[in-house]
Structure 1
């Protein structure tokens, strides 16, 4: 099955919903709108959630990729793609893969198609080959940016999007990954290494419970909003979350890195709150092209006492309509 662009899928999905809701008008325009007989276009555009799945449903995808993932939220199959082959330093800190080098591919199955969204970590040398491979595979490149300020070697992050049958998506993604030195996935450690941070103090400052993951203390925070792309509802696990990661540096100090997911009115508030807390702004960009409400992402960096960093991050987080 050939990959369709999000524009084509939006128009096709809209047309199907109009028929399903009894709209026989042929006035579908290039913007995906048409007059419903009862004036109730919203009824014709009810959003379609992804269907529930299990790990077994995604076994063909795992077999093609040679990598296993985890079903999140009962619908999204998320495959980690960390760059454990790289040794990246920034501002004197050797960055662990879990802090900033954790790419991923996320799959969600809908009634008529499967969506792939992801973030690939690539070196500057790999980037042209990855871009060409994505274009040849029919996978959209929706963003290109950095997560870190000064860094060695130079590393880029590129967001991807495609819709087709799941095995076809997996095959195409595999051809892209083959242009990089991304290592095969490895099982998680039997026991988590100790995190030399005041995690209770960090939890209290952020009013949330973090998770230890290979020596990194992490927070993943969804928004309260309902997000959609054309006729498709987008669950947070596709990558629509705020991520805050703490890497211990010794003596309860940490490097903090991640990104805030924001709507346009929130962007300046987040920037102001972060700078008030002496946290550096790294990048402001999009991940997708046509989601609603429109979302922007802001990457940040700082090193200091872990609890102090969490206290500085909290005002920025509170401006972004976060879920509890």
Structure 2
């Protein structure tokens, strides 16, 4: 299957649909007869509702991708999504005097999933302002769409941008080559080997867990929460598992004395946006960005980045009403 951008795939649907409707109108009686003659034909219920489910895969399926990128990833959502981390461990970014750790807000990624009609790529690349034009040119030259460009932090030095990418192809190597070209336009370092046990998180993590009603995970000295939405999200008919990045993420970075810098991303539907803003501001949490990550997701999600520095448990209590204002999966 040749390379097809996500936008081209969407544009191809309209004429095909029109042709199908004309054919059905002309041959309605014949279609009915054929259906009646084959009552035992297998029907894909997901496809009949326009939902294209991801297919479970193995490491071997993604070897062309890992060979091209020189990096490996991990599986999520029952081996349907293969996600390769692309953190900016080379950057030394500060915001309001806080030295930002990669795990707080500098963690890019590229995620791949196989569907009946090809391999879907979605990701988020962290690039400096000087790298951005070259990254854009590399992505465009390889047919990979940029679906968002924004910031995760307010005041920052050096200036850093986040760009979301989206594409579909029958050949995963083609997608990997496009990402590789974009990475070559940056100073993103090669994949690092595991560095042993996780460092301690110097915060009252038990108190934070209790306030949020969920248990966090230690990651590079950061206390992290990743929470999926309760409903199923789709993009151009493809079901999007949470590992693609359609989740609410809340990160606590210790800054000393029990205090934390918080940064992350709420995923919301339109009716939830103002409720989350109001809840965050009531808790003294700053709003950074409101934006989309893609073009055709349903139900239409919006994403909101935030920032604050305060006692970790106090911030968790302030975040809880904002979480409760969105339709998230229950805590396990």
Q: TM exceeds 0.5?
A: yes
**Residue deviations 1:57-100 (CA, integer Å, cap 9, x gap):** 21221111001100111210000000011000000000001101
Q: Give yes or no for the alignment of 1:224 onto 2:230.
A: yes
- Higher normalized helix content (fraction of residues): 2
Q: Which of 4, 15, 21 is 1:25 aligned to?
A: 21
Matched, 1:83 2:96: no
How many pairs align?
309
Question: Is 1:48 the equivalent of 2:52?
Answer: yes
More divergent stretch after superposition (199-208 vs 227-236):
227-236
Aligned twin of 1:3: 3
Kindly indicate whether residue 65 of structure 2 is the aligned counterpart of residue 61 of structure 1: yes
> Which residue in 2 is equivalent to 1:198?
204
CA distance in 1, matches of 2:47, 2:103: 43
User: Can you give the 5+ residue segments of structure 1 that lack an aligned partner in the other structure?
Assistant: 29-36
Q: Distance between the aligned counterparts of 2:294 and 2:311, measured in 1?
A: 34
**Paired residue for 2:148?**
143
Report the secondary structure of 1:249's partner residue: strand
Residue deviations 1:165-217 (CA, integer Å, cap 9, x gap)? 21110011101110000011113322110110000000011111100001011
- TM-score, length-scaled by structure 2: 0.88
Inter-partner Cα distance in structure 2 for 1:284 and 1:56 = 38
Paired residue for 1:318? 324
Residue 246 and residue 316 in structure 1: after superposition, are their counterparts in 2 closer, same or farther (change >3 A)? same
Q: What is the TM-score with the length of structure 1 in the denominator? A: 0.90
Structure 1 residue 231: Cα displacement:
2.3
The alpha carbon displacement at 1:6 in A equals 2.5
CA drift of 1:5 comes to: 3.1
1:151-170 alignment to 2 at 5 Å? 151-164=156-169, 165-170=171-176
Once the two structures are TM-superposed, the CA of residue 14 in structure 1 deviates from its matched residue by 8.2
1 CA distance for matches of 2:119 and 2:13?
13
Q: Answer with 148-157 or 185-194: which moved more.
A: 185-194
Residues 67 and 185, structure 1, Cα contact 8 Å, conserved in 2: yes
Instruction: Tell me, in whole angstroms, the C-alpha distance in 2 between the residues paired with 1:204 and 1:188.
Output: 30
Larger Rg: 2
Q: Quote the RMSD (CA, aligned, Å).
A: 2.1
Please say if residues 89 and 151 of structure 1, whose CA atoms lie closer than 8 Å, have aligned partners that are also in contact.
yes
Q: Secondary structure at the match of 1:26?
A: helix
SS in 1 for 2:152: coil
Change (3 A) 1:43 1:110: closer
Q: Which residue of 1 aligns with 2:75?
A: 71
